[in-house]
Structures are given as C-alpha cells and as structure tokens.
Structure 1
Amino acid sequence: MENPQDVASSISRNPGLDLLRGLSILLVVLHHIGLRLPLKASALDEFVPRRILSALNWNGYEAVFVFFVLSGFLIAGHSIRRWGTLARIDAGAFYRRRAARIVPCLVLLVAVLSLLHLAGATDYVIQRDGQSLGRAVLAVAGLHLNWYEGVTGYLPGGWDVLWSLSIEEVFYLGFPLVCLVVRSERVLVALLAALALSLPATRAALEGNEIWQEKAYLPGMAAIATGVIAALAAARWPARPAWLDRAFVIGGSLGLASVLFVEGWWWSWIGNGVMLVLTLSVACLAVGLDREGRRALAGTAWLRSFGRLSYEIYLGHMFVVFAVVAMWKASGIAPYWSFLAYVPGVLGAWALGALVARAWSLPWERLVQSKHRSNDAPARPALAPD
C-alpha cells in the first residue's frame, strides 16, 4: 500500500486527506494486533459494544481499499496539477517520482526481512511448502507477491503486507502509457469507470480462492481507478459550490462509516457490492475534502501525523506488532488486560515509521527529486480539453 507523500513536496498538504489516511493506517495496525490479541477477549468487551470492537479489529482489508482510492486520487490529482492534463503526462518523470518514493523503503524492508529469515527469527522464517526466500524476493521485485500468496498461501506478516504494492505499482506502470495513448479524457474516464464498476463482479468471480479473492489485481485496480476518476472530476469542476463539497464529505463519511460498522448488513443485501459502496464513499470524501479538508480539525494532529507517515508505518508496523505481542504473551498477563498492549503497539508503529521517514525514505526521495527538478514540466492550472 503506497502513500503518495511526494504530492506534499510540490503542493500544500491537505489535513482532511491526511486525517483519512491516518484513520486507515490506524485500522490496519489495530487489525494486525487484533488478529493476535482480539479486543473482544479483553476487559473492553464488558462495556464497549462489540460492534465498535469489531470495527476497530476487523477493518484492515477495507482500510487498504481506502488507501487504494486515495492513492489514485492523489497521484492523478498531482499529475493534473503538474502537467495540466493526463494526456500530457511525462511518463519518465512520473516513474521517477514513484520510484523515489517507493524503492528506498521497499529495499530496506526486504533486506531486513531476508536477514531475519536467514537468522531463523520467530515470525520471519518463510517455511510453508512451495515457498522460499529467493522466490519471495523475486515476487516482490516482479510485482506479483499477491499472486504468489494466492498460489502458495500466506507469507509471514512482514512480507504479506507487500501484496498491495504489487497491485498499485502494476497499475501505475501502465497508467501513464494508457493516458498518452488514449489522450481523450472522455475515453479515459469510460475505461476507468468500467474498471471501477467491475469491483463486485471481479471479487465474486474469485470466490474459490479466499487469498486470491482478497489480493487479486483487478479488485484493487478498480479501487485505484475510482480515485483517478474522482481526481478528474475535482479538477474538471474547480468552481463547484461549497455546499456541494460539504455534501460529498457528509455523504462519503456516512457511507464509509456504514461499511466499517454495519458491513454485515451490507453483505446480506448486496454481497460483494459492499466494496463498491466503500470505494465510492471514499471517492466522494476525497472530492469533498479536496477543498473542505484544507481546514484542519482541532484535536486531530496526532491522527494526521499517522497519515503523513502511512507508507512507512504500513511497511514496518509488523515488526512492532510481533514484538509487542511476543512480550505480552511472555509476560503471562491475563487476556483480560490485553487491550493495554495496543498502546505500545500503536505508538511503536508510529515511532518506527517516523524514524524510517526521517533517517531513510525522505532523504532518498529529496535527493532523487533534486537531481531532476529542472526537468519537470511546470504545473498548469486546469485540465486541457479532449
């Protein structure tokens, strides 16, 4: 799951979108702790409704799809601001910016995971039949780790999180080329809409393999395409009334909350269509927050900081989860108090992400971009016509 933080290097950050990203990465961290120390087995079950506990523990997958939509929205929006229209996108500059953001952290993570595997560290050894370290590294480099897991089974948690990057980066490898070949915005939107609306059908068609159903290319790409369409809509209608942005924010928030809290009701009614409700709700939120989100909501600075660090937190949080869970279980403390383990788990994930960003990923990103800044085309104010 990539966080397109490079957008912030050329345009001001959007606190509303950072808040949404922060909520999403927090749900991912809570999910991976909850798989090992579920909140319903703790003291919180006595006075917190189970629906809320379930929402906190079991929405990690949905949170990744929130990121997919936001990734499409932010990266397409940035491209429109930089080149004026997607038909004039500079593929070389686009790929360079993606690589500058993604590769340094990814290389570091794979190197550390490989060393831990070779050292025989608990929770990091690849030992399932049909899997090997070399093949896992190849799957990461070849952007098909999601397919590799679909065929061979889950990898250890530190590797498993990379399934979403395989989907995103395959999409973005083809995205500039499609934009340059199609050129017509109407045709591009039609193609993206067909992909976006295919989400329920593609998930339903993959029901025979639970892992592949969750991690296949097309469902994830459908969510990214939804974000791209939202970016095109926001750029095409820059003078829309403020009340409409507020309506998008309210409607999108209600839709997202309904999936997070009453997803079972949605599934009983429309099945896999619930994921389309999720992606369309996030798209509405993104369009509304594109302007309404410029005003920071008081008391949310901590969660927005999670959003700014979401890529680093996503890639590295399993190190913290494994360590906290291992220490908690070794302590012998009753599961009744296990909710307390969430505090060091969440704070530790943030601290590790902040350290990696400060010491590694952002310096590399700035170095690469500074060498090529003069080659970037100047931003244009609006979309060019078809």
Structure 2
Amino acid sequence: MASRTTSWAYRPSLDGLRMLAMYLIILFHTQVPWIQGSFIAVNLFFVLSGYLVTNVVLTEMERTGRLDLGRFYARRVRRLLPAALVAIVGISLVFLLVAPVVRRLGLVGDAQGSLLYVANWRFIAQANDYFAPNVDKSPFLHFWTLSIEEQFYVVFPLLILLLARSSRRGVMVAGLAVVTVASIGAQVYWATADPIHAYYGTDARLYQLSAGALMAVALRTWPVRLPRVGARAVAVGGMALFAVLCFSAVAMSQSNRGFLGTAACLMIVAGLMLDEDQPLAKALSLRPVVYLGQISYSTYLWHWPAILVMGMFLDVGPVTMAALAAVIATGLAAASAELLEQPVRSAKRLNRFRWRVSAVGVACSVLAAVLVVPTVLEREQPPAVASGTGGAAVGKLAAAHSDPLPKDVDWDRVDRDRGTEQTCQVDDLDRCVLHEGSGAHVLLVGDSHARMMTAMFEQLAKKHDFTLSTNIVSGCPWQENLRNTQSSPKRQERCDEARTGWYDTVLPRLDPDLVVVATLPRDHGKWHQRLENRDGSDLGLERSLLRATRDTLDKIEKVADRTLMVQSVATPRSFVPNDCLTSAKDPDDCVVPLTTTNRPSDAYYLAVAADVDAAYTVDLNPAFCPAGPLCSPVVDGMVVWRDNQHLTASFVAHQRAKVWRLIQQTGVLDALDGL
C-alpha cells in the first residue's frame, strides 16, 4: 500500500519528538558521560520549528490567499513570551537568593539578552565554551537556542511573502535552498575560524531551521508516494542514526555531528509524516509522551537553572542529577502551562488585538530588561540560602568516624608542616624551580594555601616527570593588584616584589605551560578593610577581587597555555581541630563539617572561567575531605589540619593521587605535552 502526505493537520507524534529532544538535552546538560553527543537534540527542535511554522504559514496562505503578519506575530508572542518572561524574572530571583552579587553582576547582560532574544550573540561576544568541563555557566545560557528561533520567526514570514510573489512554488524551494546552503557554508567556515560562533551563531545554525522549512515546502510542492515499508524505513533509519550520533563513543567534529544530526531529524519527521500509522508514530503519540512534548518549551526554560542550583547544594552523580532536574523542570513547566501559557493562548479577547499584543509583549520584555532584571541581580546582599553544618559537635551526632589519633604526635612538627615558600626574579630563575623534569612546565602561584600544596605537587612532578616552579609568598594573594594589609610591613614588601610586575617580566622568562593558582579566600568580613588595590582604586571588595582576578589571568594567558584556579579549600575557621584533638577523648568529637555555602571567591573564579577559554577551576575538597560532608581530623593515621585555616602539607601530599584525578577531570591537562 502506498503512503503519501495528504493532511497537514496536527500530528501528536511530532510532540512526542519534542519530548524526546527535551530529555536528551537534560542528559547532555547533566553530563551523563555515555550520551554527550545528545546536544544534537537541539537540531531536532530546530528542524521541527522550521517544519511546523512553514506549514502554519503555507496553510493560511492556501486557505486565505494571504498571510496575516499581525496575527502570526501575535500568536508567536502569546506562545513564547509570557513563559519566558516569568522564567527569566524567576531565575533572577532564585539567583538573588543563592549567588553572591559579583556573580550576579555578570548575569545582568545574559538576562537582558535573553529577554530581547539576542542571547546567542551575547554569548558569542563573551566566548563562553559550551563544552568545557567544570565551567560555571550562566543560568540563562540555554536561551541561545530560543534567541535563534525567535530571530527566525521574525524574518521567516517576510522571506516567505517575498518568495511567494512568484506563483511558482519551485521559486520558494529554490530560495529556501539558497538560505540553507549559505548557512551550511557559514557553519563550515566558523567551525575552523571560531567554534563558539559555529555553535551559537544564527547564521551558522539557520540551516537546521531552513532545512525543516525546505522539507515542508518540498513535500507540499511534490507529494511523495512511498510504500508504507519505505516510509517506516525512513523514520526508523533516521531514528537509528540519531541515536548513534547521541552516543559519546562516536567521535566526530561538532559540525559533522550537526550535519548528520539534521539529516537524521529530517528523515524522522518525513517518515512520520508519510505514515502516521507506523509503530514509531504510535509510540510517540502516547498520551503521556504527547503531554510532555506539549510542555517541553517550559521544561526547557527551567531545566538548566535547576541543574545549576542543585549543583550548588547537592553532590550527586549525573544520572541522579538528570532525574532530579527532569522532575523539577517538568513540574514547573506543568504549572506554567496550566496557570499562564494556556490562559494566554486561549484568551479569545486577545485575538482582536494583533499588532497591539505584539507591541505590549515586546514592551514588557524591554521593561523587564531595563528595570526588573538589573534591580534584582545587582542588589547588594549576600546569598540568603546556604546549606551546611555549623560546628564540630555535628560530627558526633551524625555518627561520623575518624581514625584513632596516633600516639606521641609531635604537635610542634605538625605546626611546622607548612610546605615550601619560594619565589624568584629575572636574575635568579633557578630559585623558582623545585623539580626539573622532561615534560611540561607547571608553575604554582599563591600564598600559604599554595604553600601547603608544594610537597604534593613536587611528588606529582617526580612521578609524572614534569617541571615544577613556584612563586609563593604567605599572606600574598596571587592576583597582582591586591595587597593584604594584615601582613607585616616586611611581608607586604616581599609580596610587592613577588607580584608587582612579576607577571610581565619573570613569567615570560619561566614560560610555563600550566599555571596553578591557589589562595586563602579573602572575600568577606574583615577583608573589606584589610584587602586593598595596589593602584589605589576603591571599588569595594567584591569588584576589586573580580577585576584583579580577570586582569591577572589576562597576563597569564599571554604566556601559559592553561590556568587552573584552585577553589576555596574548606577549613573549620570557627575552631582549631588540633586543640580539640589534644583534649578530646574521641577524635570523632573533632570532626569538621564541610560547609557547602557558596564562597564569593569561588564564584569569581567560576565566572571568570566562563569567559576565558584557557582558564579552569578545580574543587579539591573531595580529596581533602574524603568522608565529606564531615571531615575527619585524622585520616590514615595522619593529622589533617595544621590550624583552623590550613591543612598539613604532609596530608595534602598523602592525597596526591586523588588530587591528580580531580585535576585530570577538569580537562586542563588535555593537549598539554608531557602531562
């Protein structure tokens, strides 16, 4: 029996495809390792959008002989804008509660770009790397896809009207084919010139939308007749190709995966349209599947910020995170559909106000971008939501277990277990070198927190045969423009010598491949008065830290291939574990709770890493607190803490294998020769 496309009525199986695409994207964003090619699910969204909007436009033109632009734009606004507006404002409010102001300041432009549907171009300008591991991504990052779609919706009907001036449908096919080929050319060009542009750019992504539109016009112009077995083979073959491309094991470039993914999507949609009675179509048309597809737009709006927020407070695996994100985002989407989207879309009264609906919608977005978002995100207040425990006594209540305290501990030796402090100048570069190997050159820069890691890095250098140099001065932040006035005058002078101009003169002479920076967090409380800018500027603590971090990274980036910023090492601060160990009968009484409160310094590092391709961050707390969230004061017979702000250098070195694995997981060592 032959099958042909005769009806352009609603097909529930296409909503089922939306559902499939949505949850594949969640798997990608939660970094489920075996399916990291599933970012091509975005292609499925794009192809479906191009295909469906083209059928809407052509159906109206065939029925009425014209296209009512006011009605078209009003329907798009009513469909997309209310949910997006509420989501963006809601996300801003959530991050007001959980993120420090410095991190939020960088999000203002992201939210504004999302409201105005130019987010993709903003992220191109910021050069965010969508694939970089352990990068703190903006909660508005996913709006890049919606921006491309909205830009397409604005221009596409005008293009159709222009092409429709010719009575021959072949002209429309040719016009869309030209657009598709031009966009493919842009993708090929940008893939080598600027991969970020290739991923986010409208010009480089348009082919996926126009390909869907082209298929819709082609099927209407030249009705296809296929045996049912042929239609089913096309759909199933496309689905099989799509599934293969989703798996990480299939190695290929982003562009090639995109091209093949788009072809697979076209095959799936065409096969379903040519035979709606096939098993695949019936499976995708199941009521729960269709419902999830119908609310997939709002699910998409909420899933990414949900992942980011949960990541701040939960330490769970990718699959668990994906499940939690799916449940939360779907629940919010269902509420949005019921309470907001459906009432707005079904309000018959609004049908009379076509252009005015569009104008009001755009005005609301502009007002939110200009007034609401900056007011919320720029508000000077610390995070209101924090998790974690408050004192050592919690360890006993939680039945935490610590190793027995060794007998005859030399506490004086523990106090002196600080690591090596060493720096150098142009005329004595050898003083910086702790170990000379035949592989890459690693430079460790920082203060006492970097110092307590020197023994560990030296042992790693010997094992992995890389050269290790240091520029370490206790009490001296690694950022060039920051001065710690709490230090003694002599210490401040030494810090000035180790930082001022050092990155311009000595760093190029050392010529490291990787620079690792670590410092005690000086981001709140007393540091508002004790941390100054060397240039005399008074920007406030948070802005000073962010600016100094960015400026110093810029200098490092000119010399080194990569920079790795070590996030805040969790310390007890409120009590001294060793004082507790010398008096307590049970080491369990001295367990240290590992707080999960967001540290501003970490937010600065993560925010900067999102803007700088060669900058990475690493959280070493899982290595130093293996029994987290409660940290034992004694591990493998070793005293963990030197004081309430530092680990012992010996314990840090003892954990070197775990630290090395955490560093490897960041990806910072990839493509570095000799590591």
- The TM-score by the shorter chain falls in which range? 0.7 to 0.9
Shift of 1:96: 1.0
Q: Establish whether residue 59 from structure 1 lines up as the match of residue 38 from structure 2.
A: yes
Cα distance change, pair 196–254 in 1 and its aligned pair in 2 (3 A):
farther
Q: Shift of the alpha carbon at 1:181?
A: 1.8
Could you tell me which residue of structure 1 aligns to residue 28 of structure 2? 31
**Partners of 1:73 and 1:228 within 8 A in 2:** yes
Q: Does 1:281 align with 2:278?
A: no
Work out whether residues 114 and 143 of structure 2, in 8 Å CA contact, stay in contact via their aligned partners in 1.
Answer: yes
Structure 1 CA distance for aligned equivalents of residues 65 and 114 of structure 2: 30
The equivalent of 1:51 in structure 2 is none
Question: Residues 299 and 94 from structure 1, CA distance in 2 versus in 1: closer, same or farther, beyond 3 angstroms?
Answer: closer
1:148-167 equivalences in 2 (<5 Å): 148-154=122-128, 156-167=137-148
For residues 289 and 312 of structure 2, the distance between their equivalents in structure 1, rounded to whole angstroms, comes to 26
> Quick one: distance in 2 between partners of 1:254 and 1:124?
46
1:340 alignment partner in structure 2: 320
Say what the alpha-carbon RMSD is for the aligned residues. 3.1
The reply to whether residue 224 of structure 1 matches residue 203 of structure 2 is no
The Cα offsets for residues 271-292 of structure 1, whole Å up to 9 and x where unpaired, read as 7343222212211221221253
Q: Write the distance in 1 (CA, Å) between the matches of 2:349 and 2:219.
A: 29
**SS in structure 2 opposite 1:158?**
coil
State whether structure 2 residue 98 is matched by structure 1 residue 121: yes
Shift in Å, 1:328: 2.6
Q: What is aligned with 1:372?
A: 351
Matched, 1:233 2:218: yes
The residue identity in structure 2 corresponding to 1:25 is M
Q: Which amino acid aligns with 2:195?
A: E
Instruction: Provide the C-alpha distance between the structure 2 equivalents of 1:263 and 1:90, rounded to a whole number of angstroms.
Output: 48
Instruction: Provide the C-alpha distance between the structure 2 equivalents of 1:20 and 1:309, rounded to a whole number of angstroms.
Output: 12
CA distance 1:299–1:248, shift in 2 (3 Å):
closer
1:312 paired residue among 290, 298, 313: 298
Call closer, same or farther: CA 1:247–1:187 in 2, change over 3 Å.
Answer: same
Higher helix share: 1
1:129-155 Cα deviation digits (max 9, x unpaired) = xx451x334423433211111112448
Whichever structure has more strand as a proportion of its residues is 2
- Report the AA paired with residue 215 of structure 1: Y
User: Could you tell me whether the CA contact under 8 Å between 1:317 and 1:352 is conserved in 2?
Assistant: no
Q: Is the 8 A contact 1:140 1:166 kept in 2?
A: yes
> What displacement does 1:116 show?
3.6
Segment of structure 1 superposing worse, 192-201 or 88-97:
192-201
Runs of 4+ in structure 1 off by over 6 angstroms are none
Contact 2:302 2:329 in 1 (8 A): yes
Number of corresponding residues = 332
Consecutive unaligned residues of structure 1, counting only runs of 5 or more, are 1-10, 41-53, 376-386
State whether residues 18 and 296 of structure 2, in contact with CA within 8 Å, keep that contact through their aligned partners in structure 1: yes
**Deviation of 1:326 (Å):** 3.6
Asked if structure 1 preserves the Cα contact closer than 8 Å seen for 2:78 and 2:345, the reply is: yes
Aligned residue type for 2:189: A
Residue range with higher mean Cα deviation, 313-322 or 76-85: 76-85
The equivalent of 2:176 in structure 1 is 192
| Residues 165 and 343 of structure 1: CA distance in aligned 2, closer, same or farther (over 3 Å) | closer
SS at match of 1:159: coil
Contact 2:50 2:213 in 1 (8 A): yes
1:169 correspondence with 2:150: yes
Residues 348-373 of structure 1, C-alpha deviation per residue, up to 9 Å, x if partnerless? Answer: 22111111111111211112x55327
State the secondary structure of the residue aligned to 2:314: helix
SS of the residue 1:272 aligns to:
helix
1:100 match: 78
Give the partner amino acid of 2:123.
E
Contact 1:18 1:308 in 2 (8 A): yes
Q: What is the CA distance between 1:197 and its match in structure 2?
A: 3.0
Classify 1:124/1:165 alpha carbon distance in 2 versus 1 (closer, same or farther; 3 Å): farther
Aligned CA distance change for structure 1 residues 262 and 84 (closer, same or farther; 3 Å): farther
Gaps of 5+ in 2: 1-7, 129-135, 355-675
Counterpart of 1:281 in structure 2: which amino acid?
A
TM-score (norm 2): 0.45
| TM-score, normalising length: structure 1 | 0.76
Indicate the structure (1 or 2) with the bigger Cα radius of gyration. 2
Contact persistence 2:238–2:265 (CA under 8 A): yes
Identity of aligned residues (%): 23
- For residue 322 of structure 1, report the CA deviation from its aligned partner: 2.9
Deviations 1:255-298 (A, max 9, x none): 3233223774554xxx7343222212211221221253465228
Query: What is the CA-CA distance between 1:195 and the residue it aligns to?
Result: 2.4
Distance in 2 (CA, whole Å) between partners of 1:361 and 1:342 is 25
